[in-house]
Structure 1
Amino acid sequence: MAVRTVPAIQTGRCPGGHMRRSRGLTAALVLSLVGAGTGIGLVLMPQASAVTPPVAFTADALPTWQPNGVVWAMAQANGTVFAGGTFSAVRPPEGAGSGTEQEAVNFVALDAATGAPTDCKLSFTIGDGTATVRALTVSKDSKTLYAAGYFGAVNGVQVNSVAAIDIATCTPKASFHPGFPATVRALAVSDDTLYAAGDFNNIEGQVRERFAAVDAATGALKPFTANADEPGRAIELTPDGKHVLLGGDFFTVNGADSHALAVVDATSGAVRKTYGTIPSNSVVKDIATDATGFYTGNEGSGGGVFDGRIGLNLTDFNEKWRDRCLGATQFVLPYDGVLYSSSHAHDCSLEGDFPDGKRHYFLAQPTDHKNGAPAPVDGFVRGPRKLGWHPTSNDGLGEGIGPRVMAVAEKNDVKYMWVGGEFTLINGTAQQSLTRFASTGDTGAPTTPVVSAASVRPGEVQVRWRTSYDADDSKLTYRIYRNGAATPLATVEADSLEWERPQASWTDTTVKAGQSYTYRVTATDAAGNTSALSATAPVTVPATVQPYPDQVRQDGAQLYWRYDDVSSPFTADSSVNGNTSGVQVNAPALRQSPGATTGSSTAVGLNGTSQQIHSDHRQTVGSSYTLETWFKTGTTRGGKLIGFGNNTTRNSGSYDKHIYMTNTGRLAFGVYSGSTKVITTGLFDTYNDNKWHHVVATQGPAGMALYVDGQNKGTLDVTTHHSYAGYWHVGGDNLSNWPNRPTSNFFAGQIDETAVYPTALTQAQVQNHFNLAKAPADTVTEVSATEDTYINQGAPSTAYGSSSSLAVRGTSAYETYLRFPVPAAPAGQVLKAASLQIKTTTQAGAGTADTVSVVPVTGTWSGAGTTFNTKPTLGTGPLGSISGIPDGSAVHTVELDTAAVSAVLGTSYSMALTSTGTDPLWIWSAEATANEGTPQLVLTFGPK
């Protein structure tokens, strides 16, 4: 038996067989979206099937028996899944407590609900060479399983690469015996006809080149003739049964020019539709249909390759959209309005999704654009936007393709997405060639949000976080908690995907000037799975407007990175409406002090070899824009300070609209408008002097301009730049072929206060920013207690100086004493606000319904020597008070009399917490290890 061998070629084009599966499950999943609760860590229990619609399956893989080779083919019937390929045995899932390896010669039947083998045993063999099963499909009445590939016998019954199996008895049908002389790669079946695609040139002496049809009962050859010049890899019937869709490597069908795809008459094979827009170096690996359209999976190799998916109409067979992701699509499966596909997609730049980089083995997208198709790009309508379904896999063994085939099966009212291929990992866990995902049982919680908080005006705090990632939920619910409270202050919904996790934000307008706050955030998916609490994000509200950042915001920055973040890899966007955060690469040094501007807290440090920050989502840049940043360096290797590029962590292939430093310390601002256009500072205008400098670059209707430290350093009459979708980069990206290119693409030094505007700032605005950077601004000092204790009337001789908690109560008195080293006011500044920050303990009833007063201590005391009997004298004028502190461990702030605290600046000062009621307050002491829990004196200083 002659077998046509397809030579292996480079990735992009991944040769191999085509699998056929049963389709037709139409029942929609009943999805439940239930609002999440308010308690920290609360796990809600809505229907377990809850994932973000229209995705129908979780990304949590279920235990499944696994073969020792490659799965090429899959079909399902009556709750049983059939898998065929090239293997000799199946074994239990990794870590399974029972079961031993079983023989399975190129075929296994498995229970859809348990993932375990059934009693149906079939052995596909051949006398010469290696047998393989490349295609499986089930008859419409679910009684017959058709198998194809390269084999000569099934359970010893002689066949020729195609066989019919009686599903009820699990035996080959002797009455069905077509004679295919070469590998068959795909099957499709109607009521009375079995269609086949493959490498053959004839059937039983009659010419049938790569496509043929036989009687579904006997295997007798039918008149259908659709001769192609190269292998057939895919075949599918239209839902009305009138046409057959052909896919493969071919360039002609029945003499008509049509590459990789054609539509023919289901009875005669006469050509009804040809195609010429699939590149010659690409092929169709799979075709699938639903009620309104059909879809192709494509792969190729070389320049201009097409590796993605096409959606076409069934009415006229014309293309409706084309998804041009790169990465060898092997299989497409439309189900309930979603097109699931298996591939190793690594570059979806042309679709506005992820750039070239990590491989994504599973994708899901709507079968149609829901709100009208977008305008064509390069002559093609983009594919529908990707959905949040992200199981992970790997290339695996064999040809290193990963997943190859998919099927949906149902049992006991649960739907299962089965996947076969040559992978050896699923979601990071060892699992070979078979896996499955269910419509119920979403158990994976979202990743923990990374949070930042900032305030530049009295009365408002902007809480920002990098949205979380959840493998099967793109819409997540976020809860914001303040000062350690157990009840959220606000709830926000936001969308995110694995490769696109933009910033979400919320503004707290209930804060008070001069007070400090902390914020934490959780993420909850549609099934109620909740992440851990984020790390604490602290912030102090200024007593007056901070002039520099407020002006940047007022001037319309849509990206504003201040680099005050406390956690990697998130760089928060402090603009008013931009929400374009940054993703830190290779762990830049955070919170470098001092920052560039008066009142700005910290900068970011970059090593000049690998560290950078890129924006979190793809965007385009308009005809007018401004780039602004501060920098400090002594480098002699140059590097990019800020710029735009079409990739994230890899070198961009398109890159301009950037400011970079030469080896000698000169600054250059460049755009590409058919050639490089660059403004460079003068020969002696160098800025690698280890001082902070302000650089601004603008482009708009007036052309290009470069400003350094408020001064215009040059202009060019260039109003255009390279138009493409990309990402902002700070600290590094490609600089190849740019004038005076430095030794390094990466900048070594400190960066602060980076902003991007959608307009060209005027010279007056630039000068104003530079001047405001040195204008007086509020500063905040937080002082920890150096000593604290409390006294207990019930134990009048006991000292509590080493206790981890402190108490306040009027009747049966407790009093708490705190000592702070109060700093003097900075030169030219005065105290504008003062507050005491305390945190209730975790014990039940730690809060109080009474009013707690803060009063000065006039007598002497020490933590070790103070008891009820030796308590110090208290002053008469209260510094401040707080009423009704609720139970639950949380941070609380007591506003203090500014004049009274001003009078004791520069001294060691003691204060007491007292009450007249009977309900005790318990707070953490300076000796406590509780996070954000120890007493703090918060002082805000500002210009006179």
Structure 2
Amino acid sequence: MMNGSTGRRSGGRGRVRAASLALGLLAGALTATAAGGSPAAALTPPVAITADDLTTWQTNGIVWSMASGDGVVYAGGTFSTLRPPTAAAGTDEQPALNFAAFDATTGAPTGCSLSFTISSGTATVRALALSPDGETLYAGGQFGAVNGIGVSNIAAIDTDTCTVRNSFKIGVSATVRGLAVTDDTVYLAGDFTTVGGQTRSHFAAVTTGASLLPFTANADEVARAVEVTPDGQNVLLGGDFFRINGTNTHALAVVNATTGQLTKSYPGFIHNNSTVQDITTDATGFYTGNEGTGGGVFDGRIALNLSDFEQRWRDTCLGATQAVAVHSGVLYSGSHAHDCVSMGAFPDQPRKHLLAQSVNDPKLLPWFPDTNDGIGEPVGPRVMTGASGGGRDYLWVGGEFTTVNGKPQQGLTRFADGPDTGAPWVPNVSLSTLTPGRIEVNWQTSFDTDDGELTYRIYKDGSNTPVHTTTGYSVFWDRPQLTWTDTDVAPGETHSYRITASDGVNTSAKSPAQSATVAGSTEAYPARVKADGASLYWRYDEGASTFAHDSSGNLNNGFLRNGPAYRQTPAAIAGPSTAIGFNGSSEYAYSNRLHAAPSRFSLETWIKTTSDRGGKIIGFSNLTQQNSTRYDKHVYMRDDGRLVFGVQSGGSRTVTTSGAYNDGKWHHVVATQGPLGQGMTLYVDGQARASNILVSGNENYPGYWRVGGDNLSGWPNRPTSNFFEGQIDETAVYPTTLSSSQVSAHYALRNG
């Protein structure tokens, strides 16, 4: 169970009670399995919290701090009203001045109402922490009174009566941003330089009777997080600082709980432009959430061992982590992560705000509820806390957001350990009949916000009994192609197929029926493409989906973005296949899989256009959902219709056709690069049209194949548009250099 006494910086844990125990880990991540494997579970272990947001009251401003205990969740921040879960801003509001208390199980306000105010400026509650016995709630921030009773940026609240404890009063000179509480001590972190009239720079400790303790851990910059180790012997410090008590240790330090003297320093451990925003612990480790400013900074999470205070792992996702919390061996975090490619996850793209990782492994787990950035800075989530009630465990999240899972919801949301009610996305299906006497059923694996391993069932010809069942693993940035071949068919027969995806509890609707007629003979053109070793082969026969299925047999499927024009006819090649149309402004395709940069390669596709704005036709680049920052190994069309093949090799190296190809006819385009002596060659309609045998290298970076558009900034004769307007068909990528005879043979098969 999640411990119910976590504060803003997860600081409400006492020495007698450590939070977030019962790790219950399963080793390793699940991978795709064959038919007959174990069915998918409702949640993919070790994830034990669903991504389904629950009905929760809202604030009209930012929630900066939370703590919980005895089935109550306390929230503090910068807000003035609450409103019901479905109410729009400005309607059905009730006063709540920077503080509110909620039933952990229902998400509704309790009877505890406190007003935190200040005589000038804006009052805010930045830290909340419960005493280990749950009888006292400590609040820190920037305020001068609670319910009219004078205080100085810190206060103690009797949780039974919801009143200020007059016995706890001490002056703190500036904002308190973090609190941690034991049986007899309250630790403070913040902007202050004096406490109780004595010098304490950004960290301090007072008794539960509000007497200043000799604990001294003076920092040279703002403190943001404070946490007591489960054994009570040390205190974990986080913030912007570069020195504690004059010793170099940037953003993170471990100090003695009694004296404040350094137990462990971390010089050079965290980037100089990065800070520690939050710290949490479990029985064996502590975990930091980090934010950076500028290029090359550190924005992710770090796991460290409590046994020796050394690093266990760190991730390098970019996107300002603000909050961390542990439940059942999983580290949940709030950030605005936008680039986790260095972690083997998604490249730079629109932000994701809630993530999960095993406490023993930084790999991202399949848990992806989401918020927006919201108001304020804005960065989305700012704080997390665990709570229990009604036999369930909850993860509460507060912050700046105004939507949760795409629906209006401001300031607060919560998730539980069940039930899981969200069904996976409906699978995208494409059929292929390249082999006589067979129908290949191909589909893009689905996405579920809290399940990676999904079960797929294939239904044939309207039957309600599946003909095939299998499982596969997918996350939102990696939805690999799965394939099943139906051999129980005969040439000339037409059959239809539908597929469902299930997480073991929730099942998607059946996909729209797709039909195909069984071939009696082999199509010559695709057979030759496959025989010549294509590693990626997109034929664009999909009806209406995000799926470009790969006919090469290598499962290098693609995503189709922004709804291109499907099933365009006549296609480039005679036969039942169709082409795809791109609008020249936003539509394109990209490969699902991240590829190593090829040292030699061939690109092949067919194009038809009358555009005078040019655009990229095919290329290799580092991003998928926005214009790339690294891009070469590409073919683009100039405004005048001439084609350019370019690579980066000590600068931009290009070859250009003398003729134009924006005449509204289908043209076969092949670009190859091989070793010195072969170099670069650009073929059009079976003939070499431009070459440079001296250019054998290209830029080395992992990337994705993109078709239909991407960045062209800095390239010679850059066209008006980055995106190609026209039809494209039969795109193939080869890990080898096609010979001139192979290229001419492909072109000759266009009518066969």
- Fold match (TM-score > 0.5): yes
Mark the runs of 5 or more structure 1 residues left unpaired by the alignment: 1-16, 32-45, 370-383, 776-944
Query: Are 1:247 and 2:224 matched, yes or no?
Result: no
Match of 2:286 in 1: 294
* TM-aligned CA deviation for residue 199 of structure 1: 0.6
Select the residue among 266, 281, 292 that pairs with 2:273: 281
Q: 1:428 aligns with which of 395, 406, 415?
A: 406
Where does residue 533 of structure 1 map in the other structure? 510
The Cα offsets for residues 601-643 of structure 1, whole Å up to 9 and x where unpaired, read as: 2111223333222223433333233211122233333221110
Q: Contact 1:21–1:406 (CA<8 Å) still a contact in 2? A: no
1:30 Cα shift? 11
Aligned mate of 1:50, from 31, 42, 46: 42
Matched, 1:687 2:687: no
Aligned pairs for 1:915-934 (under 5 A) are none
Alpha-carbon separation, structure 2, partners of 1:26 and 1:311: 16
> How far off its partner does 1:18 sit?
6.0
Match of 1:782 in 2: none
- 1:216-615 alignment, distance < 5 Å: 217-271=208-262, 272-369=264-361, 384-526=362-504, 528-577=505-554, 579-599=555-575, 601-615=577-591
What is the letter of the counterpart of residue 53 of structure 1? P
Cα deviation for residue 314 of structure 1 reads 3.0
3-state DSSP of counterpart to 2:705: strand
Alpha-carbon shift at residue 557 of structure 1 (Å): 2.1
CA contact (8 A) 2:11 2:179 kept: yes
CA contact (8 A) 2:188 2:226 kept: yes
Segment drifting more, 412-421 vs 599-608: 599-608
CA distance in structure 1 between the partners assigned to 2:366 and 2:387 by the alignment: 21
1:277 shift after superposition: 4.1
Amino acid at match of 1:644: F
Does the alignment pair 1:89 with 2:84?
A: no
Match of 1:151 in 2: 143
Asked whether the equivalents of residues 236 and 244 of structure 1 are also in contact (C-alpha less than 8 Å), the reply is yes
List runs of 5+ in structure 2 lacking aligned partners: 1-7, 27-38
Partner of 1:705: 680
Instruction: State the AA in 2 paired with 1:252.
Output: R
1:723 is aligned to 2:700: yes
Residue type matched to 2:411 in 1?
S
- Tell me if the contact between 2:11 and 2:280 (Cα under 8 Å) persists in the aligned partners: no
- 2:638 paired with 1:646: no
The match for 2:168 is: 176
Alpha-carbon separation, structure 1, partners of 2:294 and 2:125: 29
Preserved contact between residue 29 and residue 439 of structure 1 (Cα < 8 Å): no
**Could you tell me how far apart the structure 2 residues matched to 1:108 and 1:237 are?**
26
Task: Rate the CA distance shift 1:28–1:312 in 2: closer, same or farther, 3 A.
Answer: closer
Any conservation in 2 of the 1:325–1:350 contact (CA below 8 Å)? Answer: yes
Deviation at 1:591, TM superposition (A): 1.4
| Contact kept? 2:21, 2:283, Cα under 8 Å | no
Return the alpha-carbon distance in structure 2 between the equivalents of residues 399 and 715 of structure 1: 51
Aligned letter for 1:515?
Answer: E
Cα distance in 1 for partners of 2:203, 2:123 equals 21
Shift of 1:421: 1.3
Query: d(CA) in 2 for partners of 1:698 and 1:475?
Result: 39
Q: Indicate whether 1:759 and 2:736 are aligned.
A: yes
Alpha carbons of 1:24 and 1:575: their partners in 2 closer, same or farther (altered >3 Å)?
A: same
2:699 aligns to what SS in structure 1?
A: coil
Q: How many percent of aligned residue pairs carry the same amino acid?
A: 57
Residue 423 of structure 1: how far off its partner (Å): 1.9
> What's 2:36 paired with?
none
CA 1:599–1:92 in structure 2 vs 1: closer, same or farther (change >3 Å)? closer
Kept in 2, the 8 Å contact 1:262–1:275? The answer is no
Q: Distance in 2 between matches of 1:123 and 1:30?
A: 42
Compared with structure 1, are the counterparts of its residues 661 and 264 closer, same or farther at alpha carbon in structure 2 (3 Å cutoff)?
Answer: same
Q: Which amino acid aligns with 1:696?
A: V
CA distance in 1 between partners of 2:155 and 2:240 (Å): 25
Contact 2:543 2:567 in 1 (8 A): yes
**Number of aligned positions between the proteins:** 723
Amino acid at match of 1:340: Y
Alignment match, 1:667: 643
Using the TM superposition, give the Cα deviation of residue 185 of structure 1 relative to its aligned residue in structure 2, in angstroms: 0.3
C-alpha distance in 2, partners of 1:143/1:726?
Answer: 55
Matched, 1:634 2:605: no
**RMSD (CA atoms):** 2.6
Instruction: Find the aligned partners of 1:668 and 1:397 in 2 and give their Cα distance.
Output: 45
Are the equivalent residues in 2 in contact too, given 1:256–1:274 (CA < 8 A)? Answer: no
| The 10-residue stretch of structure 1 (529-538 or 593-602) with the greater mean CA deviation from structure 2 | 593-602
Instruction: Map Cα deviations across residues 155-210 of structure 1 (whole Å, 9 max, x no partner).
Output: 44433222233333433333333321211100112343221100111122322100
| Structure 1 CA distance for aligned equivalents of residues 284 and 177 of structure 2 | 26
Corresponding letter in the other structure for 1:218: G
**Alignment of structure 1 residues 72-87 onto 2, 5 Å:** 72-87=64-79
Give the aligned residue type for 1:459.
G
AA aligned to 1:471 is T
Q: Does 1:25 align with 2:20?
A: yes
* 8 Å CA contact retained: 1:697, 1:704: no
Counterparts of 1:192 and 1:386 in 2: how far apart (Å)? 38
Query: Which residue identity lines up with residue 662 of structure 2 in the other structure?
Result: N
Question: Residue 353 of structure 1 contacts residue 499 of structure 1 at CA under 8 Å; is this kept in 2?
Answer: yes
User: Is the 8 Å Cα contact of residues 457 and 500 (structure 2) preserved in structure 1?
Assistant: yes
Shift of 1:27: 4.2
Alpha carbons of structure 1 residues 253 and 665: separation in structure 2 relative to 1, 3 Å: same
Q: Aligned in 2, Cα 1:530/1:489: closer, same or farther, shift over 3 Å?
A: same
TM-score (norm 1): 0.73
Query: In structure 2, what residue type is equivalent to 1:722?
Result: E
The 10-residue stretch of structure 1 (485-494 or 660-669) with the greater mean CA deviation from structure 2: 660-669
Q: For residue 709 of structure 2, what is the aligned residue in structure 1?
A: 732
Structure 1: distance between partners of 2:610 and 2:83: 61
Superposed CA offset, 1:539-585 (max 9, x none):
122111222212222333222110111113322211212x2222223
Bigger relative contact order, structure 1 or 2 (CA pairs below 8 A, ≥6 apart): 2
The DSSP-based 3-state class of the residue aligned with 2:364 is coil
AA matched with 1:705: M
696-705 vs 450-459, which moves further: 696-705
8 Å CA contact 2:21, 2:282 repeated in 1 = no
Moved more, 452-461 or 103-112: 103-112
Secondary structure in 2 matching 1:669: strand
When residues 561 and 162 of structure 1 are mapped into structure 2, their CA distance, relative to the original with a 3 A threshold, is same
Q: Deviations over 1:82-117 (max 9, x none)?
A: 111223332332269xx9754433222211111122
Whether the 8 Å contact between 1:20 and 1:74 is mirrored in structure 2 is no
Post-superposition shift, 1:19? 7.0
Q: Is the 8 A contact 1:352 1:725 kept in 2?
A: no
> Within the alignment, does 1:186 sit opposite 2:178 as a pair?
yes
CA distance in 1, matches of 2:284, 2:699: 39
TM-score scaled by structure 2? 0.90
Q: Paired residue for 2:152?
A: 160
Larger C-alpha radius of gyration, 1 or 2? Answer: 1
CA distance in 2, matches of 1:18, 1:141: 19
2:62 maps to amino acid = V
Asked if 1 retains the 8 angstrom alpha-carbon contact of 2:171 and 2:197, the reply is: no
CA distance in 1, matches of 2:204, 2:596: 49
Structure 2 contact 606–729 (Cα < 8 Å) conserved: yes
Q: Which secondary structure does the structure 1 equivalent of 2:363 belong to?
A: coil
For 2:230 and 2:722, the matched residues in 1 are separated by: 56
